[in-house]
């Protein structure tokens, strides 16, 4: 079964996050709304907030090397990166700083996502029962192109009528 478009986006964003978090490699990076218990140590959460198609599909005039027609659609996605726990401040600041490093930008390129913008890093402590848990977050907007090769009906001949 082919990998879904959404799963490819998740994988790409997680791969980028792993590179940006290189100063804290033992820190868990999880996706929001997953089942299971909250990590007991500081951790990073990736939350895919929205996905928006930009424009319409683009279709080249020629078939690709596999004799299929490529349908390309551009998307923008808004991702929130959140940091929780006692070390959230240190992790968030390092991650945020390295988010524009050459290694992270190269990882974005390898994973076929491009950073369009990022917001400022926000402090956002969370009340949990009787104590406060340190928290920071920022949002990043990426764009990416999904290419879908389809078996198309090729043009076999063209008739020109000259008046």
Say what the pTM is: 0.84
Mean pLDDT across 59-86 = 81
Query: pLDDT for 115-146, tens place per residue?
Result: 999 999 999 999 988 899 999 999 999 999 88
Strand partners, 138: 81
Q: Are the CB atoms for 13 and 114 separated by under 8 Å?
A: no
Query: pLDDT for 35-58, tens place per residue?
Result: 888 899 999 999 999 999 988 776
Distance CA 69, CA 58 (A): 11
Architecture of the domain made up of 5-150: 2-Layer Sandwich (3.30)
* 86 band by pLDDT with thresholds 50, 70 and 90: very high
> Residue for token digits 């890093």?
121
Q: Are the CB atoms for 137 and 93 separated by under 8 Å?
A: no
> Residue for token digits 């551009």?
74
Out of 27-31, 61-65, 69-73, give the one with best mean pLDDT: 27-31
Domain ranges (residues) in the chain:
5-150
């Amino acid at each position: 079964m082919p990998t879904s478009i959404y799963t490819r986006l998740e994988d790409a964003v997680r791969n980028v996050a792993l590179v940006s978090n290189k100063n804290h490699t033992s820190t868990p990076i999880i996706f929001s709304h997953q089942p299971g218990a909250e990590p007991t140590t500081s951790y990073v959460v990736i939350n895919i907030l929205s996905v928006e198609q930009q424009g319409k599909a683009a279709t080249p005039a020629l078939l690709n090397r596999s004799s299929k027609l490529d349908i390309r659609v551009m998307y923008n996605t808004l991702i929130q990166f959140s940091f929780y726990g006692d070390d959230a401040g240190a992790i968030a600041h390092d991650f945020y700083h390295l988010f524009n490093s050459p290694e992270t930008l190269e990882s974005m390129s390898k994973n076929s996502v491009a950073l369009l913008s990022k917001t400022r890093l926000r402090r956002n402590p969370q009340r949990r029962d009787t104590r406060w848990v340190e928290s920071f977050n920022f949002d990043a907007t990426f764009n990416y192109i999904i290419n879908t090769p389809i078996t198309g009906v090729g043009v076999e001949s063209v008739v020109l009528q000259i008046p």
